[in-house]
Amino acid sequence: MFVLGPNRYGKAETRVVRVTKHGDAHHIKDLNVSTALSGDMTEVHLSGDNGAVLPTDTQKNTVYAFAKKHGVGAAEDFALLLARHFVDSQPAVRHARVAIEEYAWERRGGQSFVRSGRETRTCVAHYDGERSWVVSGLTDLVVLNTTNSEFWGFARDEYTTLQETHDRILATAVTATWRHSGLSDWDKSYEKARQALLAAFADTYSLSLQQTLYAMGSRVLTDCPEICEVRLALPNKHHFLVDLSPFGLENDGEVFYAADRPYGLIEGTVAREDAPPAGPAWE
């Protein structure tokens, strides 16, 4: 005998660009939306009966229709709106997960924009018919300190060749997600959390990337009381001094080779002592 385990289905990466026009001043919201639904889906798996299945094409169309009907404000609000619609309108659906990536554009005139080089804003909203919960975040926030970073005193074995350093470049591409204690002013909260991450990275004299991770998570919790937990993934974007001695040149920490792989990957969570259990919020 076999038993069907947890399952879900949906439409991944629906790209929608919503233009809002206020006279000659236009505004853009550029989103990548992924929906996933779960519930009473046993028969479609066991017998192929599609009676409980809302087509993924319908989910895609709903994203476009809601962008027109309701507009797009904060990504978190749009994700919650979609999640509640799918659960409340479909008897077989018990849980909806809506994940959004948002791409920033910078205004260059009333109707002219340039794609921003900023990070990608992210959010994941869940709704189960009674409760809703949201995780916000960002990815590809690339930061670099040219000094104030060391790495020494580490464990060694017979395969260790890395030399200790008391002055190095520290660079990473931050992926951060944070869990809210409740509903929030999403845009304001996002900017506060982003600034906290940047400030902590810049202000921390780093003896390890782990130390920097903890400082960044702690700063977010200090500056953002509405956030109860932060998860961070920091790839160490290594910069190695180039040996210029064959050319009769000294390299006093001025010329580096930026290696893309392999790289160290440092991950961790910083939470308030009284943070409620995460449950399925991070899924």
In the block, residue with structure tokens 């962008």: 67
Catalytic position from the list 11, 60, 85, 237: 11
Residue 27 among the catalytic residues: no
Q: Among residues 38, 186, 31, which one has the least CA distance to residue 100?
A: 31
Catalytic position from the list 27, 56, 239, 269: 56
HSE toward the beta carbon, residue 100, CA cutoff 13 A: 29
Pairing of strands 227-235, 170-180: antiparallel
Exposed, middle or buried by CB within 10 Å (0-12, 13-18, 19+), for 278?
A: middle
Say how many C-beta atoms besides its own lie within 10 A of residue 225's C-beta: 11
HSE toward the beta carbon, residue 267, CA cutoff 13 A: 5
Cα 83 from Cα 77, distance rounded (Å): 10
> Residue 178: which region, alpha, beta or left (left: phi > 0; alpha: psi -120 to 50)?
beta
Say how many C-beta atoms besides its own lie within 10 A of residue 201's C-beta: 23
Residue 69 among the catalytic residues: no
Residue 21 among the catalytic residues: no
What amino acid positions are annotated as catalytic residues?
11, 56, 238
